[in-house]
């Protein structure tokens, strides 16, 4: 009888399965209809090729293509679909056309890592048997449906990494079987429902990276099975519930990047199973309890960037599993317990505290130590010799202490080390050849010590080195010529030593050098003319040495230098007139030399020059007629032979002629001069009025030429117009789309590599019939050909032909700021680079508004128009909507710019002023700090007292919170940005005031303060 029953069951199953294949079941129909609304993320892929069904096939053929054999589809024993897993299938689409009610047996529904968008339909609750729901890593928007709480069998709910908003539904508390909840990386707000404490089966909660506020519910104490509690990067406030200490199953707790306050509960010491505890970047205060030393399974403890005080508990010596300890940026004092030297550290970071005493002798016990950070404390004594053989080191910071030791005995060879900072200690001895054997070392900071002897030539083998700081030591001897081989050197600081001899010409090979400081030494001979080849130099300081000879005219090639200090030397002869080519120069100090002759008249074109000191030379003659000389005091000019000009303390400039003009001659001049002027002006306008008003000198030192060629080709270029036109057309294959890298309002941009090896960006302009305002690109040509600033994109030429008209720019491989902030590389844009970008834009706008005549308004300052080079140096671009202001005419015009950056007054008036750019700059600063456009937050900030603004609410969470000193810098810049976005344009500062304020903010910041913790 049993055999008969089994036979009947198998027969029934066989008949049902045959019907499922032979017919067109509702489940199959629903899947195929849904598939028809989906498409592949790439045009080359066929979406779900196995999802086909032909009812005309015979039974055996149909079984081969059965839905149960489709990609991602699994069926139960009766042929009904119980699992649908399309994770990582490259799908674009929505759930709007999914008939959930036709899948009564579906238990597992997985669509993660695709590009699904739109809302999560409330009808998903029809999947009444669902156990596992994973819609993570898509683009879903809207809210989490309240009806999700009807999925009473749900064990796992993964909705992370989407764009879901709203609050966490209280209805989720109905999911009594729920074990895993992951809603992280969305835009959720509101508080954590206290009723989650009812879900006694929960083993993990991920709510991180949202905007959730309020307190951590004490009700979570009921979750006895909870192992992972991850709530970081939200707006949580209040205290850490002491009840968490009762959740003895906890293995990982991450509460960093919130606004939690109060003390760290001593009850956490009862968590015997916990291996990861992260509480950094909050507002925690009080002492670190000795009870935390009871967490014997703990391997990572990170509680930095709070307001903790007291000493480091000696009980930490009981944490035998501890490998990472981060206590940085607190107010800790006392000494480091010696017992900590017995632990097998991977990371030990106590930077920016008040810890005193000495370092444990065995700090590298176990030879696993990778990061050692003890900077900016009050440590004394010798640096442990155990570090000599600690080959695991990758990053070391001792700066800002009073540590001693012989540098040649303390440090050995470290194959993985990439950064070391010993600045401002009392280390002595000689630099050994071992440092050249650290082949990954990119930064050596050893300034402010007592290091003596000469610099080993072997350092020249460290071709990967980017920063070398040996300033404020007792070094002697010459600068090794081998340093010229360090091709990637960006910063070289050797000031305040006792170096002698000549500066090797080989330093001119350092083409990536940005800052060179050799001041306060005994260097002699001539200043090397080869330094003119260091085209990326921003700052050059050779002051307080014994240099003789002339100032090399080749320094005029340094078009990016903003600070040039050659003071306190014995330089002779005249100031080279070619220095006017240093178009970015802001500070020039040539004082206390033996210079003679007159101040070059060419200095009148140096509109960016803000400060100049020519005192104590042998200069004579009139002062140039430029703004910097109008604002000078006598202190910057005293001690010269015979200078004259409109400065208090100097004699007035003599008139050029003392011969009186007779009335008869006056009448002739009144008649003839206007006629002659009109004739000359008319001739000049006939040649130049359409495209260019004056020639421009480019970095190549060639003048821009304006030429009319055969075949109606007109060019303004440093190149041969015909040749460059033909080459660009050829190399882009008649402007094939394959070379196009962007499309703007005035044209398309192409990347072109020329035969010379240079790469340029070519903007091909739309035909005149497509251009909304033909004057736009004429303005662009005029503006760019006279702008000379290191933070403004360079124009190399212009070609006009009946078939093609295009502008030739420098190509910046870093791309736009918008692309970087919106992409994955944003996390590599650290606070150093972001502040430098802000500074660069401010300087550029200040130059345009206050140093160009007539003034230039950009009108479209936004992140898409800020370009970066490979080193993240800023260039302001796209003057297609620029407006050259004429002080004597109306400036009423049509609105232009990018939505979200436009000044509010443009909504009711079309008058464009410099204050419109100031507003856009303020928005841009907020975007750079926050990592995304601030949106509606602008209105709130503009009406909020600066004392109420919290940096923690505004910083980009993708990078680590800044150290204290840079936090102060960012806060100052943030307050400045808030003034810029004031709705009243009269209240906004000018860009000159903004740039001066930023310069003042950064003036007293240490050169290495921007080094951010890599937690």
- For residue 178, CA distances in Å to 184, 225, 232, 547 come to 16, 11, 22, 77
Task: Tell how strand 759-765 and strand 805-810 pair up.
Answer: antiparallel
| CB 943 within 8 Å of CB 849 | no
Q: Which of 860, 878, 917, 1008 is catalytic?
A: 860
Structure tokens at 315: 């009980």
Query: Mapping DSSP to helix (H, G, I), strand (E, B) and coil, where does residue 104 land?
Result: coil
d(CA 236, CA 608): 47
d(CA 669, CA 661): 10
| CB 780 within 8 Å of CB 786 | no
- CA 304 to chain CA centroid, Å, is 23
| CB 462 within 8 Å of CB 441 | yes
d(CA 373, CA 421): 9
Q: How many residues does the chain have?
A: 1015
Q: Give buried/exposed letters for 103-121 (b at 16+ CB in 10 A, else e).
A: bebbbbbbbbbbebeeebb
CA quadruple 979, 985, 986, 992: dihedral positive or negative? positive
Task: Tell how strand 714-717 and strand 795-800 pair up.
Answer: antiparallel
- Host H or E run for residue 917: helix 914-930
Those residues with Cβ within 8 angstroms of residue 394's Cβ, 6 or more apart along the chain or in another chain: 370, 371, 416, 417, 418, 419
Burial (Cβ within 10 Å: 0-12, 13-18, ≥19) of residue 333: middle
Residue 663 phi, psi dihedral angles, 5° rounding: -55, -35
| CB 607 within 8 Å of CB 812 | no
Q: DSSP string spanning 353-402? A: S--EE---TTTTTTS---EEE--SSEE-SBPPGGGGG-TT--EEE--SS-
Structure tokens at 935: 């949106």
d(CA 485, CA 726): 38
| Residue where the block lists tokens 């030399």 | 593
Q: Where on the phi/psi map is residue 886: left (φ > 0), alpha (ψ -120 to 50), or beta?
A: beta
Strand order in the sheet with 91-93: 39-40, 91-93, 115-119, 139-141
Residue 396 phi, psi dihedral angles, 5° rounding: -135, 130
The answer to whether 775 is a known catalytic residue is no
Residue 246 phi, psi dihedral angles, 5° rounding: -90, -10
- For residue 16, CA distances in Å to 22, 77, 81, 329, 505 come to 10, 10, 14, 69, 89
Active site residues: 860
């Amino acid at each position: 009888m049993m055999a008969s029953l089994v036979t009947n069951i198998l027969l029934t199953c066989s008949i049902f399965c045959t019907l499922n294949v032979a017919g067109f079941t509702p489940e199959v129909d629903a899947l195929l209809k849904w598939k028809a609304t989906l498409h592949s993320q790439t045009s080359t892929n066929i979406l779900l090729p196995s999802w086909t069904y032909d009812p005309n096939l015979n039974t055996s053929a149909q079984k081969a293509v059965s839905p149960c054999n489709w990609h991602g589809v699994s069926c139960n024993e009766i042929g009904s679909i119980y699992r649908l897993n399309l994770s990582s299938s490259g799908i674009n689409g929505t759930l709007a056309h999914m008939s959930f009610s036709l899948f009564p047996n579906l238990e597992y529904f997985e669509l993660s890592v695709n590009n699904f968008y739109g809302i999560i339909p409330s009808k998903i609750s029809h999947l009444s048997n669902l156990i596992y729901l994973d819609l993570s890593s898509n683009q879903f928007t809207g809210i989490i449906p309240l009806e999700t709480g009807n999925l009473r069998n749900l064990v796992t709910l993964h909705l992370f990494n989407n764009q879901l908003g709203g609050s966490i539904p209280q209805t989720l508390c109905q999911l009594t079987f729920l074990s895993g909840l992951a809603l992280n990386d969305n835009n959720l707000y509101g508080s954590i429902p206290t009723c989650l404490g009812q879900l006694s089966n929960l083993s993990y909660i991920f709510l991180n990276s949202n905007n959730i506020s309020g307190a951590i519910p004490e009700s979570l104490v009921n979750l006895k099975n909870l192992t992972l509690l991850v709530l970081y990067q939200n707006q949580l406030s209040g205290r850490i519930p002491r009840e968490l200490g009762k959740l003895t199953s906890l293995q990982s707790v991450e509460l960093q990047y919130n606004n939690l306050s109060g003390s760290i509960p001593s009850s956490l010491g009862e968590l015997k199973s916990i291996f990861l505890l992260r509480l950094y970047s909050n507002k925690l205060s009080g002492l670190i309890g000795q009870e935390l030393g009871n967490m014997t399974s703990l391997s990572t403890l990170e509680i930095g960037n709070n307001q903790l005080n007291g000493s480091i508990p000696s009980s930490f010596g009981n944490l035998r599993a501890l490998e990472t300890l981060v206590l940085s940026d607190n107010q800790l004092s006392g000494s480091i317990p010696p017992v900590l030297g017995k632990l097998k550290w991977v990371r030990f970071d106590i930077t920016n505290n008040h810890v005193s005493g000495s370092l444990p002798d065995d700090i590298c016990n176990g030879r696993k130590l990778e990061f050692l950070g003890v900077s900016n404390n009050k440590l004394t004594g010798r640096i442990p010799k155990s570090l000599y053989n600690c080959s695991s080191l990758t990053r070391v910071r001792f700066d800002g202490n009073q540590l001693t030791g012989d540098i040649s005995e303390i440090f050995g060879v470290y194959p993985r080390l990439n950064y070391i900072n010993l600045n401002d200690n009392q280390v002595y001895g000689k630099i050994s050849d071992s440092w050249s054997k650290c082949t990954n070392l990119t930064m050596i900071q050893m300034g402010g010590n007592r290091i003596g002897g000469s610099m080993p030539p072997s350092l020249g083998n460290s071709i990967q080195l980017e920063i070398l700081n040996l300033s404020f030591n007792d070094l002697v001897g010459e600068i090794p010529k081998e340093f010229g081989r360090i091709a990637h050197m960006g910063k070289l600081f050797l000031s305040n030593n006792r170096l002698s001899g000549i500066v090797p010409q080989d330093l001119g090979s350092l083409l990536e050098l940005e800052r060179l400081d050799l001041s306060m030494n005994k260097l002699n001979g001539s200043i090397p003319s080869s330094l003119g080849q260091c085209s990326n130099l921003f700052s050059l300081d050779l002051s307080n040495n014994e240099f003789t000879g002339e100032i090399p005219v080749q320094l005029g090639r340094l078009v990016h230098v903003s600070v040039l200090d050659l003071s306190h030397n014995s330089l002779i002869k005249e100031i080279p007139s070619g220095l006017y080519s240093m178009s970015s120069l802001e500070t020039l100090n040539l004082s206390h030399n033996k210079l003679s002759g007159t101040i070059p008249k060419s200095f009148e074109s140096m509109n960016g020059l803000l400060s100049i000191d020519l005192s104590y030379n042998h200069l004579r003659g009139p002062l140039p007629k430029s703004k910097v000389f109008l604002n000078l005091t006598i202190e910057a000019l005293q001690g010269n032979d015979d200078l004259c000009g409109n400065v208090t303390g100097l004699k007035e400039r003599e008139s050029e002629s003392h011969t009186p003009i007779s009335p008869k001659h006056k009448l002739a001049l009144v008649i003839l001069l206007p006629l002659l002027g009109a004739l000359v002006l008319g001739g000049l306008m006939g040649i130049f009025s359409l495209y260019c008003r004056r020639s421009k000198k480019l970095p190549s030192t060639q003048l821009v030429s304006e030429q009319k060629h055969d075949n109606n080709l007109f060019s303004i270029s440093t190149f041969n117009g015909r040749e460059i036109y033909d080459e660009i057309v050829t190399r882009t294959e008649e402007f094939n789309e394959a070379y196009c890298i962007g499309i703007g309002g005035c044209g398309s941009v192409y990347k072109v590599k020329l035969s010379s090896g240079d790469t340029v960006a070519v903007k091909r302009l739309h035909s005149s019939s497509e251009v909304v305002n033909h004057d736009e690109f004429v303005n662009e040509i005029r503006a760019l050909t006279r702008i000379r600033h290191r933070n403004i994109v360079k124009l190399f030429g212009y070609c006009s032909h009946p078939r093609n008209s295009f502008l030739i720019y420098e190509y910046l491989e870093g791309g736009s700021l918008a692309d970087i902030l919106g992409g994955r590389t944003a996390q590599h844009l650290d606070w150093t680079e972001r502040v430098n970008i802000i500074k660069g834009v401010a300087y550029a706008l200040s130059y345009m508004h206050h140093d160009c005549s007539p003034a230039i308004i950009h009108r479209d300052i936004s992140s898409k128009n800020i370009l970066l080079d490979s080193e993240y140096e800023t260039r302001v671009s796209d003057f297609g909507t620029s407006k050259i202001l004429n002080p004597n005419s109306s400036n009423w015009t049509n609105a232009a710019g990018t939505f979200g950056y436009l000044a509010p007054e443009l909504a009711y008036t079309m008058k464009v002023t410099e204050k419109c750019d100031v507003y856009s700059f303020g928005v841009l600063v907020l975007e750079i700090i926050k990592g995304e456009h601030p949106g509606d937050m602008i209105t709130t900030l503009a009406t909020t007292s600066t004392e109420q603004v919290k940096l923690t609410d505004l910083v980009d969470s993708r990078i680590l919170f800044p150290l204290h000193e840079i936090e102060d810098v960012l806060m100052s810049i943030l307050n400045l940005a808030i003034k810029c976005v004031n709705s009243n344009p009269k209240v906004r500062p000018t860009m000159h005031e903004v740039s001066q304020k930023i310069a003042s903010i950064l003036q007293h910041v240490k050169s290495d303060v921007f080094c951010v913790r890599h937690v």
